[in-house]
Amino acid sequence: MSTKSIPLPSKVIHVRFVSREKRFIIKAIAQDRPVTMHTNNSGSMLGLLRPERRLLASVSDNPKRKLPYTLELVRNDDFWVGVNTQTPNKMLKLCWKNRLIPELEEFTHFKAEAGSGQSRIDARLEGPSGVMWIEAKNVTLVEDERACFPDAISTRAAKHMKELTSLARSGHRVACFYLVQRPDCKCFGPADFIDPEFARAMYDAVSHGLEVLAFKTEISETAITLGSRLSLKW
């Protein structure tokens, strides 16, 4: 396995999308058998969840789980799109561990889910020169080769951005790691046409020093691999 890749679970099933219910429930068909699965993606997954679309779901061996299946990938024409929102956090740590992003190379310690006041930030990096706070976000929306976040109005995402701005004002380095889990994009920017409040919060954060780390990916049925870095387009 490449040092840039995260393996997908070995136990998976292929199904066809039927419907989405209660935000976190996916109804599908597997070989004429109905299947109910969990998705941890609270976004709209705009443009992806269409009837008969191919899905790939992982299978849990945990007998205590109510739903053993978790949605991992959605087939969009000729490529897979990753929708598991835990993947960006895993990829961020992989990038730090394997020194794949220059901005992270100086940091020697990585703490996930670090507390900051009354909030929790996805990662807190420490090194000889100080601290960096990072939020990791999953991106699945692409419009005209521009990857966009978020894909639905997200007060939570705007709140995280304001928290990072507050940390930046206090003298800390702050960043957002945007993992675009699809290959068909050339640049990245906030989805101001979907969530203008988030876009305003992001512009403000950038003006106070927010570092934007946006990357696309290459996805197969066995692994998610970090691709090239994306330029920013506001």
Tens-place pLDDT, residues 44-58: 999 999 999 999 999
The per-residue pLDDT for 17 is: 98
> Could you give the CA distance from residue 212 to residue 189 in angstroms, rounded to a whole number?
10
The whole-number average pLDDT for the span 97-102 is: 97
Tens-place pLDDT, residues 14-33: 999 999 998 899 999 998 89
The per-residue pLDDT for 77 is: 87
Q: Judge whether residue 118 has pLDDT over 70.
A: no
The whole-number average pLDDT for the span 132-150 is: 97
What average pLDDT does the chain have?
A: 95
Q: Judge whether residue 117 has pLDDT over 80.
A: no
Hey, what CATH class is 5-82 in?
A: mainly beta
The whole-number average pLDDT for the span 173-179 is: 98
Cis peptide before 196 (omega within 30 of 0): no
> How buried is 100 (Cβ within 10 angstroms: 0-12 exposed, 13-18 middle, 19+ buried)?
middle
- The hierarchical CATH code for the domain 87-232 is 3.40.1350.60
Q: Judge whether residue 180 has pLDDT over 90.
A: yes
The answer to whether residues 216 and 185 touch, using CB atoms and an 8 Å cutoff, is yes
The whole-number average pLDDT for the span 163-169 is: 95
Structure tokens at 173: 């380095």
The whole-number average pLDDT for the span 195-218 is: 97
Q: Give strand pairing partners of 38.
A: 25, 70
> Could you give the CA distance from residue 81 to residue 83 in angstroms, rounded to a whole number?
6
Sorted by where each begins, the domain ranges of the chain are: 5-82, 87-232
DSSP label of 53: -
Output phi, psi for 60, to 5 deg.
Answer: -90, 145
Strands (DSSP E) found in the chain: 5-7, 12-21, 25-30, 33-38, 54-59, 69-76, 79-82, 109-116, 119-127, 130-139, 141-143, 146-149, 173-180, 187-190, 211-219, 223-229, 231-232
What percentage of the chain reaches a pLDDT higher than 90? Answer: 92
> Could you give the CA distance from residue 6 to residue 8 in angstroms, rounded to a whole number?
7
Among the listed residues 50, 54, 51, the one whose alpha carbon sits nearest the alpha carbon of residue 12: 54
The whole-number average pLDDT for the span 135-162 is: 96
DSSP label of 129: T
When pLDDT is cut at 50, 70 and 90, the band that residue 234 belongs to is confident
Residue 228 makes CB contacts below 8 A (sequence gap 6+) with: 215, 216
Integer Rg of the chain from CA = 18
The per-residue pLDDT for 116 is: 76
Output phi, psi for 228, to 5 deg.
Answer: -80, 155
